[in-house]
Amino acid sequence: MTALGTRLRQAVRERRFAVTAELSPPRGADPEAIRKGARILHDWVDAANVTDNQGAMVRLSSLAGCVLAREEDVEPVMQLQCRDRNRLALQSDLLGAAALGIPNVLLLTGDHQRFGDHPDARGVFYLDSVQLIWTARTMRDHGTLLSGKALKSRPQWLIGGVENPSAPPLAFRPERLGKKIAAGAEFVQTQYVFDVARFTEFMRASRELGLTARCAVLAGVGPIPSLRALERMQQIPGIVIPPAVEARLRGVAPERVLDESIALVVEIITELRAIPDLAGVHVMAFGAERLVPQIVEGAGLGRRAHAKVNERVG
């Protein structure tokens, strides 16, 4: 099968400092919401994630959003999580992505439904993220489904996963990353990094295990737009906001919190770029794609230079 849209693949293989960001599917069927965000990101990212019912909130499907992003010449990363699908649906959606020319998939377990807008919905969780990554690699590299039946044509995605360097127990996180790499992850995007020292230690341990040579790690970064957002993020398991960061944001006038937060993100990216073997950053500004160019430019990463995403390459 011919490969499609290889910007992210080329960036991580060539060890250029990659930039990815998120596209926010609307709570509705208006395609312009995705198109507008994609046009904003076009010059500034190697690829853009289209989230999959993020936070267990119903939104336009990631697959549909990826198709719309490609039409705007933005290379998409389709997110696919285990909460809402059994293994038949997961494999079917993966094949659908390949058939529609989606070149990258990011596979994750998914937020629990109790945090979302349908808390009484029944979660599936037939597979977890490691099993789903292994499933995708089996389909791509061995040409078989979980049933053992052969595929008539193999997909060619770049396979990604997620990692949280700040989740306890901290010593286990590199080992967890190793499991995902063994399953088939070729790149990972992390949870928000606000504590650079802690993340540096995670990268050191991962490097000593030989993991960063086998998988591209993109550090998650993003602004905190308001004090209300700060308080909300502090309640989300896995997000660690150091006291110094909270004090800095509370130390400015409320109308200045976003500007101060953007300045903080730029500083964090600058520090992260000094970490050996870090492959890039993943900018999370959900619903605020307009902030991504300012952050990327402010951090000195510059515009992305790439070929048309719709062109086929051998």
Token representation of residue 121: 């919905």
Cβ pair 271, 196 in contact under 8 A: yes
Q: Tens of pLDDT along 238-254?
A: 788 999 999 999 999 99
Locate tokens 């790499």: which residue? 181
State how many domains the chain has.
1
d(CA 48, CA 69): 8
pLDDT tens by residue, 16-61: 999 999 998 989 999 999 999 999 999 999 999 999 877 767 889 9
Model pLDDT for residues 75-130, shown as the tens digit of each residue: 999 999 998 899 999 999 999 999 999 999 999 987 766 776 677 878 778 899 99
Q: The CATH number of the domain where 198 resides is what? A: 3.20.20.220
* DSSP code, position 142: I
Q: Please tell me the least confidently modeled range out of 111-115, 187-191, 207-211.
A: 111-115
Boundaries of domain holding 66: 3-313
